[in-house]
Amino acid sequence: MPAFVTLSGRSVRLEPLSLAVVDDLVIAASEDRSTYAFTRVPVGREEMTSYVEAALAEQADGRTLPFAIRWLHTDRVVGATRLMHLEYWQGPLPWPPGTRGAVGEVPSVADIGYTWLAASAQGTSVNRESKYLMLSLAFETWQVHRITLKADVRNERSRAAIEALGAHLDGVRRADSRGADDTVRDTAYYSILSSEWPAVRERMRTRLGLLEAA
């Protein structure tokens, strides 16, 4: 099961999600709710508390690793994200042969999702650097085989951000789930493979201005 971890970058710090930041998340989520047309974001303290408790329960089961996003520019918590749908392909012996770690110690594949940001942090480097930190953890520490990212097929902004990473569009699953607007949602599925990570990493570091720090 993945351990609690803090991921630090130039402009953001991904901190382990906890009940201690519920009030900060409520403030972040209340800035401009019109920006959440395709994303379910809790309203008020009661909903946010339930949201955090559910995420922590999934973490205890080894299914997710949730984060609060702190924007270092303002030192404010401005949203949340998580590595989720963690799958462990290990059996009685590590698989494939010769691979890392104890059996079931780290995931083999994962999704990045449940990402939402305060309106003031949207359109900044916050989302991009948050994705970079999580992808780095997944591919370089966990050595996953694949990361999946999803978006409502109508959410052009989110899809453009995913495509800008260099993720591959695997296809659209029709009638995939209930949408944030209570319609039947079609979902665009994207993936990044471990073999593709070096090129994606280089692209992201260029866009984040991190090449000089290599």
In SS3 terms, the chain reads as CCCCCCEECCCEEEEECCHHHHHHHHHHHCCCHHHCCCCCCCCHHHHHHHHHHHHHHHHHCCCEEEEEEEECCCCEEEEEEEEEEEECCCCCCCCCCCCCCCCCCCCCEEEEEEEEECHHHCCCCHHHHHHHHHHHHHHHHHCCCEEEEEEECCCHHHHHHHHHHCCEEEEEEEEEEECCCCCEEEEEEEEEECCCHHHHHHHHHHHHCCHHHC
Q: Describe the strand order of the beta sheet including 64-71 as a list of residue ranges.
A: 7-8, 12-16, 64-71, 76-87, 109-117, 146-152, 184-193, 168-178
Question: pLDDT at position 176, please?
Answer: 95
CATH number of 7-208: 3.40.630.30
For 120-181, give the secondary structure using H, E and C.
Answer: HHCCCCHHHHHHHHHHHHHHHHHCCCEEEEEEECCCHHHHHHHHHHCCEEEEEEEEEEECCC
Q: Provide the sign of the torsion angle of the four alpha carbons 108, 200, 192, 158, taken in this order.
A: positive
CA distances from 183 to 48, 110, 179 (A): 23, 26, 5
Per-residue pLDDT at 210 = 77
Q: Give the separation between CA 117 and CA 183, rounded to whole angstroms.
A: 22
Q: Given this model, what pLDDT does residue 98 score?
A: 56
Residue-level pLDDT, tens digit, the chain, 214 residues: 677 899 999 999 999 999 999 999 999 999 999 999 999 999 999 999 999 999 999 999 889 999 999 999 999 999 999 999 999 987 544 545 555 544 457 899 999 999 999 999 999 999 999 999 999 999 999 999 999 999 999 999 999 999 999 999 999 999 999 999 999 999 999 999 999 999 999 999 999 987 654 4
Please give the Cα distance from 125 to 11 (Å, whole number): 7
Rg for the chain (alpha carbons), in Å? 17
Q: Is the dihedral of CA 159, 13, 88, 39 positive or negative?
A: negative
